[in-house]
Amino acid sequence: FREETEGQRRSESAPEGERDDSHATWPSRAGEDLPDGEWHTAAIVWIDLGLPPDADEEKVFETVTLVLPALTAITQDYFGRAIPHRDGLTALFGAPAAHEDDVEQAVQAALEMRGYLAKRARQSQISLGFRLAVSYGQVVAGYIGPEYHSEFAVKGEPVRAAEQIAKSVPPG
């Protein structure tokens, strides 16, 4: 990422009527700096909460607001990074910081998440048909989006593999 001061941004702002892309992290023209995506060897835990599509929206919202913070806390307890996605959560171990036991940490976190979700499924007012899977390999990870609202993202075959495995296993 480019580090700029507020004064630099003001002095380089676009003339009136032209688009000001000075806040963008993705280049709009050739030759500009790219975001700081880097290759990492990482373990991925993919969690699909298996929320029923016909469930009451308020109950789904309540369930998600209880479950995601708990899954995030479990991820962080094992030195991982939680990245919410549409159907649940991706837990990343090994990026941006790597540890020699990232795979073991991911497996331990996945086991704890499974136990938590099984308990929550018994207590929930809606059906939680959760699925999870662990994968390992080379990923590209880094921050994307404008500086004022950048998010950590991860892409790569291990992410796709964990998602596909999670979708193929029975719930629970």
Q: What is the mean pLDDT of the chain?
A: 83
Q: How far apart are CA 160 and CA 149, in angstroms?
A: 25
* Residue 24 identity: A
State mean pLDDT over 68-76. Answer: 97
Residues 6+ apart with CB under 8 A from 17: none
pLDDT of residue 10 exceeding 50: no
For residue 33, the model assigns a pLDDT of 55
CB-neighbour burial class of residue 131 (10 A; exposed 0-12, middle 13-18, buried 19+): buried
**Average pLDDT score over residue span 86-93:** 95
pLDDT of amino acid 35: 59
Q: What is the pLDDT of residue 37?
A: 87
Burial class (CB in 10 A: 0-12, 13-18, 19+), 87: middle
Q: What is the pLDDT of residues 20-69, one digit of tens each?
A: 444 444 443 344 455 578 999 999 999 999 999 899 999 999 999 999 99
The average pLDDT across 163-168 equals 94
Give the global pTM: 0.76
pLDDT for the residue numbered 162: 96
SS (H, E, C) 121-169: HHHCCCCCCCEEEEEEEEEEEEEECCHHHCEEEEECHHHHHHHHHHHHC
